[in-house]
Amino acid sequence: MERRLDPEKIANLHDTGSILDRKYGKRGTASRTSFEEDAYSAYYSEILRERRKDLKMTQQQLADKIGKERSYIAHIEKGKTDLQLSSFIRISNALGMTLNFSYT
């Protein structure tokens, strides 16, 4: 049995960009920028948390390694703090991660 795509249904589909535009405003607006910053914060927080857990390291052990309080690590992992690049690099190094920057 051959399946065919329904052109009407396809015409009613929305791309991610248009959904975000409606909900948070166009790119460059304050509300969209705030949303994107929060999304990146959550993304990188998740990467750091999962790596720490993979290493079976506690928040306290990681905090001790980088000379910070455990609560600082907890805030980072919840995406509740503005993480400076220097801190991100220090945490990444403590977790045995390497950062690769590339230009497109």
Res 61 pLDDT > 90: yes
Inter-axis angle of helices 85-94 and 70-77, to 10 degrees?
100
Closest-CA residue to 45 (of 91, 14, 8):
91
Note whether residue 3 is domain-resident.
no
Neighbours of 65 (CB within 10 A): 15
What pLDDT is stored for residue 20 in this prediction? 94
Does residue 10 form part of some domain? no
Q: How many domains does the chain have?
A: 1
Query: pLDDT value at position 35?
Result: 94
Please name the residue that has the structure tokens 């929060």: 38
CATH, residue 69: 1.10.260.40
Cβ neighbour number for residue 95 with a 10 Å cutoff: 19
Full-model pTM: 0.75
Are the C-beta atoms of 60 and 70 separated by less than 8 Å? yes
Q: In this structure, is residue 27 part of a structural domain?
A: yes
CA 98 to chain centre: 17
